[in-house]
Amino acid sequence: MESKENKLQNPEEANPVNDIFEDPRKIIAQTLVDLGKSNPNVVFISCDSSLGASGEHFRKNFPERHFEMGIAEQSSMSTAAGFALSGKIPYITAYVPFITFRCFEQIRDDVCKTNLNVNIMGNNCGLSVSSLGPTHVILEDVSAIRAFPNITIISPADGPEYPPGSNCCCGDQWSCLSKGTQDEGKKDTPGRLPD
């Protein structure tokens, strides 16, 4: 068994930069649980993607605040707006093409024009799941959603950027669209660019 001293001397294990390369879903899952522990008004809504969108960990910790809505993004977005009107802080998640374009009207009218605190977490953005077909590819979401009033768009680049992005939306009176991917980064020697 490896001693504590040896682990501290292993630069790969001791270096916090390795968080950059974690699967972002793991980091989001822990961030959501931390938010749920610190604020009982945080609720999680998933659109047929709870396991792949970091919601399972939240569900295990707070089953009464987890809502799996199935393939019903528009209804889910309106439900999130209703939670926000009731004083809750909803985090809603689905694949980016579906949580943005399928819910375009609900985001605009139910969330942004009413200036509600709804945290929209889109996963698998851009070309990250293009193998699932053209319906899962999204490149125009930011340009469309940024035209709405009262919304902030966050697109974290790596693991350490997810918690601050999620935390900055919790408790503030604004809407937030956060985009993420399921891809892990390539591990390499810290301070050296990958080949």
pLDDT at 166: 66
CA-to-CA dists, residue 24 to 56, 173, 179, angstroms: 14, 26, 11
Nearest to 119 by CA among 44, 48, 190, 185: 44
In a domain, 7, yes or no: no
Question: 16-20, 26-30, 40-44, 62-66: lowest mean pLDDT where?
Answer: 16-20
Q: How many angstroms separate the CA atoms of 115 and 174, rounded? A: 6
pLDDT at 123: 73
Q: Using one digit for the tens of pLDDT, what is the confidence trace for 22-38?
A: 667 777 788 889 999 99
CA dihedral over 58, 99, 84, 81, signed as positive or negative? negative
Nearest to 119 by CA among 64, 46, 182: 46
In a domain, 94, yes or no: yes
Q: What is the dihedral of CA 77, 50, 13, 34, to 10 degrees?
A: 60
In a domain, 12, yes or no: no
In a domain, 185, yes or no: no
The whole-model pTM stands at 0.74
In a domain, 127, yes or no: yes
Question: 25-34, 54-63, 90-99, 128-137: lowest mean pLDDT where?
Answer: 128-137
Task: Give me the DSSP letters along 66-82.
Answer: EEE--S-HHHHHHHHHH
In a domain, 162, yes or no: yes
Confidence at 113, pLDDT banded by 50, 70, 90: very high
Domain of 49, CATH number, reads: 3.40.50.970
pLDDT at 10: 44
pLDDT at 94: 84
Q: How many angstroms separate the CA atoms of 172 and 53, rounded? A: 23
User: Between helices 24-38 and 162-169, what is the axis angle to 10°?
Assistant: 30
In a domain, 125, yes or no: yes
Range of the domain at 57: 23-180
In a domain, 186, yes or no: no
Q: Using one digit for the tens of pLDDT, what is the confidence trace for 117-171?
A: 999 887 776 666 667 677 766 778 788 888 899 988 887 776 677 777 666 665 5
Q: Are 122 and 102 in contact (CB under 8 A)?
A: no
Q: How many angstroms separate the CA atoms of 127 and 124, rounded? A: 8
| Section 168-195 average pLDDT | 51
Q: Which amino acid is at 72?
A: A
Domain count, the chain: 1
What percent of the residues of the chain are helix, what percent strand, and what percent coil, each to the nearest 5? 45, 15, 35
